[in-house]
Structure 1
C-alpha cells in the first residue's frame, strides 16, 4: 500500500499530541524527549520547542522540570477525549434538536464565539440564526448557548433527513480524509503513523457523529476512533517502556 500524502506535524504539534494523549496530567522532559525521538524529533529540537511552548502559554513547566498542559489546552484535551468516546443516546427515535438564536444586539465577536461553540457541539447552520442536528448525542448544553438560544426537539426539519444531513455536513469529504488517515496507520513508518494519529485527533473533532441511518455506506468514523485510541495506547506503552 502506498503511503498517503499527509502534511508532517511540527515539533510543537508532536509534543502537544504526546501531552494531549497522555494518561497522566504531567510528563517529564525525559519522557517527552524519549517519545519524540521515536517519531523523528531530535532532543535539541524538542527542548527548544518546549521552551517556546512555555513562553507561549501552551504548557506549564513545574519545579521538577516536567510539563503539563495549560488550562486552555486541557479544555481541548477534554474535547478530544469526548470526540474519541462520544456519548450516544440508545433511544434515538429520529428526533432532531433545533436551536434558534433569540438574543439580539450581540457584538461581532460574541456572534463568532457562539458559532464556534455550536460547531464544536456538532450542530450545523440550517439558515442564519437557526442550528440543528439529530438528537442522538448526550449534549451538556453550556450557558453560552442556553442564554442566547431557544432549543426545540422534534421531528426532522425536512421530509428527507438523509439529504439534509448530506447538505449540512461534507460527509464524503470527511470520510475520504478519514480513510487516508486509516491507511497511514497501517504502514510500518513510525513517523507517518504518528502524523496520522496527530491528524486524526483533530479530524475526529469535526465528525458530526450522526445516526447510522443518515450516513453514507461504509462510514469510517468508528474505525478511525478505534484506530486513534489504539495508537494512543501504543504511544503510552512505548513511553513507559523507554523511561521505565
Structure 2
C-alpha cells in the first residue's frame, strides 16, 4: 500500500508463531496448525517447510505430531507484551539521561547497545548521550547497564521541542492513523493479519511520551485497541483448530 508504513506479506512462519503465542499453553498439533494456515490461504507444503525451519532454528520443539514454542521464544513474547502494555507514571518535567561511559572496540557490541537504548525509548542527543522524559522505568541487562551512567535533569530547551526533535511524534501518529485505516478496511482475516504485523512493529516504536508532549489527537491507545481486537479474532480462529478437542 502507498503511504508512510510498509505492510509485510503473510508468511507461514508468522502464522505459526502468532497462533501459538495466542494460546494459553503454546502447544498445538501440527495438523491443527496446517488447517489454520491453509484457511488463511497458505499452501500446506509451505507451512511444513516453515515448521521444519522453526524447529531447526530452535524456535519450536516438535514431538509426537505436536509442537510448542521454545522457552526462549516464550520469554521474548513476554517482553513484547510488556512493551505493548507498558507501565507509565506521572511526569514531573524531568528527563532521564543515559551516557555511555564504557565504550567498546567491537562494532557488534556497539550496535547491540544502540539497539537496546532505542528499544528503551531513548533518543540520541549526540553520540553516546541518550535522553527521554522520566515517565517510564529504564531497564537494561547488567552487562549493558555497567557501560552506562544515568542522570536526571531538566533541559533548557522546551521539552515539547526537544521531544519533537528526538522522537518525531507527529510522524509516528500519522503512520498510526494510516495503519488503523488499513486495519479497518482490510477485507479478510489474512489481510488484517498482514496489517497487524506492521501495527506490532509500530507500537514497539511508540516513544511513550507524557501526554503534555504529545500532539492531539494522539492515536496510541486506539492503535493498541485495534491490535487487541485483531488478536482476539485470531485467537478465536486458532482455538477452533488448535484446542485439544479439534486437534
- Contact 1:100–1:130, Cα closer than 8 Å, also in 2: yes
Pairwise CA RMSD = 2.3
Residue pairs, 1:104-123, within 5 angstroms: 104-123=103-122
- 2:70 and 2:150 map into 1 onto residues whose CA distance is 33
Quote the Cα distance in structure 2 between the aligned partners of 1:15 and 1:177: 27
Deviation of the 1:119 alpha carbon: 0.9
Q: Which moved more, 1:104-113 or 1:215-224?
A: 104-113
Give how far 1:75 is off: 4.1
| Residue in structure 2 matched with residue 146 of structure 1 by the alignment | 145
Q: Tell me whether 1:34 sits opposite 2:32 in the alignment.
A: no
Which residue is 1:74 aligned to? Answer: 74
Q: Deviations over 1:122-170 (max 9, x none)?
A: 1111111101111111333331332011111232x34211111111123
Match runs of 1:70-109 below 5 Å: 70-89=70-89, 91-109=90-108
Which residue pairs with 1:206 in the alignment? 205
TM-aligned CA deviation for residue 72 of structure 1: 4.4
Q: Which moved more, 1:116-125 or 1:48-57?
A: 48-57
Please name the residue that 2:58 is paired with. Answer: 57
Residue in 2 that maps onto 1:136: 135
TM-score (norm 2): 0.86
Q: Structure 2 regions of 5+ residues with no counterpart?
A: none
User: Does the CA-based 8 Å contact 2:27-2:66 persist in structure 1?
Assistant: yes
Task: Tell me how far apart the structure 1 counterparts of residues 31 and 166 of structure 2 sit (CA, whole Å).
Answer: 46
The runs of 4+ residues in structure 1 deviating greater than 4 Å are none
Distance, in Å, in 2 between the alignment partners of 1:96 and 1:113 is 23
- SS where residue 67 of structure 1 aligns? strand
Change (3 A) 1:183 1:143: same
The gaps in structure 1 that reach 5 residues or longer are: none
Q: TM-score normalized by structure 1?
A: 0.87
- Indicate how the Cα distance of structure 1 residues 105 and 145 shifts in structure 2: closer, same or farther if over 3 A, else same: closer
**How far apart are 1:106 and its partner, in Å?**
4.1
- Give 3-state SS (helix, strand or coil) of 2:112's partner: helix
Q: What is residue 166 of structure 1 aligned with on the other side?
A: 164
CA contact 1:103–1:149 (8 Å) conserved in 2 = yes
Cα offsets for 1:200-238 (capped at 9, x unmatched): 112211111111111121221111111112211221122
Give the stretch that moved more between structures: 15-24 or 226-235. Answer: 15-24
Secondary structure at 1:224 match in 2: helix
